Amino acid sequence: MAKSRSMQTSTSSSLAPWLGISLIVILFDQLTKIAVKKVFAYATPYAITPFFNFLLLFNRGAAFNFLSEASGWQRWAFTALGVAAACVIVYLLKRHGNQRLFCTALALIMGGALGNVIDRLVHGRVIDFLDFHVGGWHWPSFNLADSAIVVGAALLVLDELRRVRGAR
C-alpha cells in the first residue's frame, strides 16, 4: 500500500512541470493577443521586416481559416476538440511524465490548444496577428498558440524518430 502511494505521488508530481509549460504558453499567448488588440487596428498591416507584418485578424475557423465561413457551429466544435485534446494530453502526461521530449511536445500542444479555446470562449473567434509573406503571397496569419502547437508537433516527430532509431 505504501509503495503504491509513493508511485502515485511520483506520477502526480511529474505532471507539474508539464502543466507549467502549458500555463506559460497560455499566458504569453493571451498577453500578446491582448496587447495586439489594444495597439493595432483590425486588418491594417504594420510592417516589421520586408517579409513580416503584425496584422490583427479574427479567425472563426481553424488553421488556415478552415470552416471560417460556417454558420457558427464550428466555434463550439473546435472548442470541444481543444478541450478533448487537453484531456487526452493530461492523461498521456500522467502516464509518460518521465519522457522529457515527448511531454514537452504535449505540453506545448496543450498550451496552444487551450490558448485558442480561451479565444473562442471569450471572443467567439481566434485572434491572429503574425503575418509572413513573400512577394504578394501571404502565409495565413497565426498567433503564439498556433506556433506552440506547430513546435510541439515537430517535437513529437523528432521524439518518434529518436525512439525508432533507438529501437534498431
C-alpha distances out from residue 97 to 5, 62, 120, Å:
17, 29, 29
Q: Tens digits of per-residue pLDDT, 108-121?
A: 999 999 999 999 99
Tell me the average pLDDT of the chain.
Answer: 91
pLDDT band at residue 168 using 50, 70 and 90 as cut-offs: low
Of these residues, 29, 119, 146, 159, which one is catalytic? 146
b/e code 73-86 from CB counts within 10 Å (16+ = b): ebbeebbeebeebb
Q: Which residue has the higher pLDDT, 3 or 126?
A: 126
146 a catalytic residue: yes
Question: pLDDT at position 46, please?
Answer: 97
Q: Is the pLDDT of residue 1 over 90?
A: no
The yes-or-no answer on residue 159 being catalytic is no
Residues of the chain with pLDDT > 70, as a percent, come to 91
pLDDT of residue 11: 44
Burial class from Cβ neighbours inside 10 Å (0-12, 13-18, 19+) for residue 21 reads buried
pTM summary value: 0.89
CB neighbour class for 145 (10 Å; exposed up to 12, middle 13-18, buried from 19): buried
* Mean pLDDT score, 60-84: 88
**Catalytic choice (29, 119, 128, 131):** 128
